[in-house]
Each structure stands twice: as C-alpha cells, then as structure tokens.
C-alpha cells in the first residue's frame, strides 16, 4: 500500500514537471495572443488541425486559457470544422486533467470527507447522484472556469461517464459561439459579429435566470456563509454558481469585502501604485525630465477611496443579489444545529434555516 502511494506521488510530481517543461519549451504563452497563435498554427499547412488539437490539449492540462484558440479555430478552419476541432481537443484535455486529480487527489479528499467533513461528503454524494445534469449545466454556462472545473471535478465523486458526456456535449454551444465569433472577426463581418455576441450573452444569461427561479422554490438554504471577506465571498460565489441555494451574511454592506477591500490588500496596493509612480517621476531626471513638488496626501487618500469604490461595485449586497444569491445584513447567531438568527442593526430578528 505504501509503495502504491509513493508511486502515485512520484508519478504526480513527474506529470506536473512535464507540464511545466512543455509550457516553457513550447512557449505556450505565445498562444494567448490570437494573432501569434494563428500565425504559428497556420505554418503547419495540412497538419494544422492536428497541431491545433494537440496545442489545445496541452494548454488545457497546463491551466492556460484556451479561449484565444477558440477564436483562432474560427479564423483558420471556419465555424463547423473549428467547433469539431475545439470540442475534440478540449474534451481530451479535460479528460486528462480529470484523470490526474482523480488518480492523485481523490483518495486523499475522500478520506478527509468521510472522517472530518461529513457535510461536504453529503454534497459530494449529491454531485455523484446528479452528475450528468450538473456537468451539462456547468459546461453550458460560460461563467464557470473551464480549466478549474476539469481539475476540481476529479476530486469529487462524479462518475467518469457523466463527466465525459457532460463535457463533450455541454461545451458545444459555448464552443460554437466563440468559434463563430472568431470566424466573423477574421472576415470582418459585423452582422455575424453582433450575432456571435448575442449568442455569448444568451449563454451567460442562462445561469442567472435558472438560479433565480430554482432558488425561489426552496425554503431552506444549502449553504450559509457568515462573513463576506475574501474567503467567505469565494466560497459563497462558488457554491452559488454551482447551483446551491446560498445565503451570505455580514454586518453591513460596508463590511462586505472584509479586511482585503477595506483595510488590507486593496488600499495597500493602491498606495504602492502611487509610491511607484512618484518614484518613477524622480527617476525621470536621468532622461532630462525635472519633476518637482510635494505629494498631496489628501489626493492620495481620495485615489485609494476611488479604487475601493470601483471594486465595491462587484462586492456589494446588491451585486450578489443580482447573481441569484441571498444576502442578509446583520449579526448572525446560531440558535440551533441548522438554524441561524440574524439580528439587524435596528434590532429586529430574522430566523433562517439551513440543511
């Protein structure tokens, strides 16, 4: 048993090193540029489709964005063949990524869920029972990160058949929209471009509409997240997008974003940006540019507030409600094993139940 675990560990590390080697040696980052990718792939002539599929597979398992290649497929091969090549390459790449985490990560996750995280084990079994439907939905909606799902689903209990079929058929509509957009752009056909954009918007609209109507039918919450800091927001957003009825609780709208938005990451990085700009100004003297004057700290503080305000548009109660998530502002208190009471600032109480 120990030898098998050791072999799996070594094998997993070798595969990771191989992926890093491929990314560096093949300089796959160049393929993130549509123009460069189109130029390189077209050089292979009649073997261009084969090289395209192989490149798509390697980029998928290397966790690199593959959307640029969808556009390239449309420009080089047309919509029909482009979709065929994209679906073949993406499905193979997704299958390899799934196999990797299923082989090297699933045993550890399964052990942890059964022993320490029984609630997550419940959701794991739920995913397994409804695997095909869940995968079709996750692949159909282009809001979910393709590469992230490939590796993440391998850690779940979903059946391989459900994962494979859900991926194969679920990515066809999105692939068609992206490839069609790529062909329309290459041909400078503005009418078709508008149609392609409308297709993408339609696909992106499926999830919010579905989520809104589905969650109205449920009286209990699947997931309740207390605290809308970085960790809480990530968990709540993921579970909400995965189709679970999610409740997010924080003290006030201003608290959403946690320390990162209000005191730490965002303000500090905005301040660092100002500092770098000032330093660049001082260093400009060697180019014959003289910059004099003092730093107006009041304007610096206003700059930081403006940055926070811009980010807060996507980290507020109203924003998450539009995404189909339930949000309650107040102080949360446990009143039962599956019950939470939210005391608002005004003092009124609201009872909520979770599973």
What's phi and psi for 159, nearest 5 deg?
A: -70, 145
What's the pLDDT score for residue 348?
Answer: 44
**Count, residues in the chain:** 355
Cα–Cα distance measured from residue 226 to residue 12, given in angstroms and rounded to the nearest whole number? 36
Residue 183 to residue 196: CA distance in whole angstroms: 10
How far is the C-alpha of 7 from the C-alpha of 251, rounded, in Å?
Answer: 49
- Distance CA(58)–CA(50), nearest Å, equals 12
Domain boundaries, the chain: 2-208, 218-257+315-353, 259-312
What is the structure's pLDDT at 3? 58
- 75 Cβ neighbours under 8 A, 6+ residues apart: 34, 38, 182, 183, 185, 186
**Edge-to-edge strand list for the sheet holding 223-226:** 223-226, 246-250, 326-329
Residues 274, 295: Cα–Cα separation, whole Å: 10
Helices (H), the chain: 2-25, 34-42, 48-61, 67-104, 106-115, 118-129, 131-140, 146-154, 160-170, 172-186, 190-216, 230-241, 258-262, 265-283, 297-312, 317-322
Residue 342: helix, strand or coil by DSSP? strand
Which CATH code for domain 218-257+315-353? 3.50.50.60
Residue 337 DSSP SS3: coil
Predicted confidence at residue 349, as pLDDT, reads 42
Q: How far apart are CA 355 and CA 339, in angstroms?
A: 9
Position 90 scores a pLDDT of 93
Task: Decide: helix, strand or coil at residue 339.
Answer: strand
**Per-residue pLDDT at 276:** 82
Query: Do residues 309 and 231 make contact, with C-beta atoms less than 8 angstroms apart?
Result: no
- In 3D space, the residue among 73, 62, 65 whose CA is nearest the CA of residue 26 turns out to be 62
CB atoms within 10 A of CB 59: 26
Pseudo-torsion of CA 171, 158, 137, 177, nearest 10°? -10
Long-range contacts of 277-286, Cβ-Cβ distance < 8 Å, separation of 24 or more: none
Spans of the chain below 50 pLDDT: 347-352
């Amino acid at each position: 048993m120990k030898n098998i675990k050791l072999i799996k560990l070594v094998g997993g590390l070798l595969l990771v090193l191989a992926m890093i080697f491929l990314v560096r040696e093949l300089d796959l980052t160049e393929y993130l540029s549509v123009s460069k990718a189109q130029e390189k792939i077209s050089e292979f002539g009649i073997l261009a489709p084969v090289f395209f599929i192989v490149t798509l597979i390697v980029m998928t398992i290397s966790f690199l964005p593959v959307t640029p290649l969808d556009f390239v497929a449309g420009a080089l091969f047309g919509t029909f063949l482009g979709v065929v090549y994209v679906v073949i390459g993406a499905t193979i790449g997704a299958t390899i990524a799934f196999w990797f985490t299923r082989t090297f990560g699933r045993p550890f996750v399964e052990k942890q869920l059964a022993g320490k995280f029984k609630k997550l084990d419940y959701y794991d079994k739920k995913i397994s029972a409804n695997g095909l439907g869940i995968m079709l939905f996750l692949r159909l909606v282009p809001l979910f990160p393709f590469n992230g799902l490939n590796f993440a689903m391998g850690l779940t209990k979903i059946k391989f058949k459900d994962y494979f079929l859900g991926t194969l058929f679920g990515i066809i509509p999105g692939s068609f929209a992206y490839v069609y957009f790529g062909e329309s752009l290459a041909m400078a056909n503005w009418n078709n471009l508008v149609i392609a954009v409308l297709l993408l918007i339609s696909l992106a609209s499926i999830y919010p509409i579905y989520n809104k109507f589905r969650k109205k039918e449920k009286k209990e919450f699947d997931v309740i997240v207390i605290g809308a800091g970085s960790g809480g927001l990530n968990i709540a957003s993921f579970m909400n997008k995965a189709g679970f009825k999610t409740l997010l609780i924080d003290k006030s709208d201003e608290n959403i974003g946690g320390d990162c938005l209000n005191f730490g990451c965002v303000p500090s990085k905005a301040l660092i940006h100002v500092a770098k700009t000032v330093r660049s100004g001082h260093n400009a003297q060697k180019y014959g540019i003289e910059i004099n004057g003092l730093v107006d700290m009041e304007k610096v503080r206003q700059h930081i507030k403006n940055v926070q305000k811009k980010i807060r548009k996507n980290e507020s109660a109203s924003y998450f409600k539009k995404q189909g998530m339930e949000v309650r502002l107040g102080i949360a208190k446990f009143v039962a094993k599956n019950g939470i009471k939210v005391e608002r600032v005004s003092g009124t109480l609201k009872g909520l139940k979770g599973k």
